[in-house]
Amino acid sequence: MKVAYLTGAVGIGGAETFLLNVSEMPQVESYFFLFQPGPLFEALKQRGARVYLANSKFRIRNPLSWLSVSNEIVDFCRRMRIDCVHSSMAYAALAGAWASKRAGLPHLWFQHGPGGGWLDALAGRLPHWGVICNSTYTMHQQQRLTPNKTCFLLPLGTPVVEPTRFREGGPLRVVMACRAQEWKGPHLFQDAILQMQDSDVLGTLFLAESENSYAEKIRAKGGVRILPPDPSVHNLFAQQDVLVNASLTPEPFGLTLIEAMMRGIVPIAPRSGGPLEIIDDGENGLLFEPGNVSDLAEKIRLLKDLKTRRTMSDKARDKAVKCFSVEKMYERLWAIYQSVSN
């Protein structure tokens, strides 16, 4: 089965990591149509993927650009004899849905969330064979927006790798990796580390897209090591014990959580959104009240206990392998594609 993946993304976040993973999905012949160059384009090329760039610039408020990009997609699908079009996020779905209809192909829109904005509402009016959602939380948001659309649940996956060596000595190493955006809550993580005033807890913040005033405030406040993001997840999590997600608004899924769990790193996340479907509180990770600095600090403090952390580490790894491997994601996605072809 030939699948064309459309995306307007430039950088590499959760939705783009999904595309990198499906470039190696054995059940399908993958083709990637990108609206603009950037790190994702280069990463796909490095993997040997079939990747193409649009010649026209796609601008939402310019109807002529819609037509130009749509024409390119139709021509691309016909030349490559594509069987199904898969658009990543609403931006790509705006062009992909109409192009698919013109080409006589089924169109799937992968809603990575959070759904509900005007762009999602606009995309929701277009013809889709179905909408893929990365969590039950995202699906509920999407169904409010497009109650008459068929929705499929597809939790993201991550490659099965060897766990990080369990550390028994030294300070508790706690890491957070996110963009320098306030809703992601890096300041909350920073405040929790500062509130603890514990020399046996070392906080590290990998901060992406950090050339803004918000990031400058975090740097000025101190209390945690602030480093640029590492493109290698292995290097990002090496020598870490705990990973924190501190988002102030509900995360649609939480890819870094499963990436950490796969390595036996204990996750801590807000008690809301997608993380509720990943973490079993007190078993393979911990949940805290969203926005509550003191509660986050207390959850970090609990993991200073070596026995507690070792037990949760083993269970986190077990759940990641069982439920969130990239192979499991391939199986679920292939079942969706088969339903399209049938």
DSSP state letters, 222-276: -SSEEEPPPS-HHHHHTT--EEE---SS--S--HHHHHHHHTTPEEEEESSSGGG
Strand, helix or coil for residue 94: helix
Residues 300, 243: Cα–Cα separation, whole Å: 10
Question: Which residue did the predictor score with more confidence, 19 or 11?
Answer: 19
pTM above 0.95, yes or no: no
pLDDT band at 232 (very low <50, low <70, confident <90, very high): low
Mean pLDDT across the stretch 70-78? 96
- The CA angle 16-243-320, to the nearest 5 degrees, is 65
DSSP string for 166-232? PP-SSSEEEEEEEES-GGG-HHHHHHHHHHH--TTEEEEEEEES--SHHHHHHHHH-SSEEEPPPS-
Task: Identify the weakest region by mean pLDDT among 69-83, 216-230, 293-307.
Answer: 216-230
**What structural domains does the chain harbor?**
2-157+325-341 (3.40.50.2000), 172-323 (3.40.50.2000)
Mean pLDDT across the stretch 238-244? 92
Pairing of strands 84-88, 2-7: parallel
- Res 285: pLDDT: 98
Residue-wise pLDDT for 294-323, tens only, equals 999 999 999 999 999 999 999 999 999 999
pLDDT band at 233 (very low <50, low <70, confident <90, very high): low
Write down the residue that tokens 């008459």 correspond to. 148
| β-strand partners of 250 | none
Residues 174, 267: Cα–Cα separation, whole Å: 10
DSSP string for 105-174? --EEEEE-S---SHHHHHHHTS--SEEEESSHHHHHHHHHH-TTS-EEE----B---PPPPPP-SSSEEE
pLDDT band at 341 (very low <50, low <70, confident <90, very high): confident
The answer, yes or no, to whether residue 149 has pLDDT greater than 90, is: no
Contact 192, 297 (CB under 8 A): yes
H/E run at residue 85: strand 84-88
Mean pLDDT across the stretch 146-175? 92
Q: Which of 9-18, 66-75, 77-86 has the highest mean pLDDT?
A: 77-86
- Res 37: pLDDT: 92
Residues 137, 242: Cα–Cα separation, whole Å: 24
pLDDT band at 231 (very low <50, low <70, confident <90, very high): low
Residue-wise pLDDT for 90-145, tens only, equals 999 999 999 999 999 999 999 998 777 888 888 888 889 999 999 999 999 998 88
Please report, rounded to a whole number, the percentage of residues in the chain having pLDDT higher than 90: 77
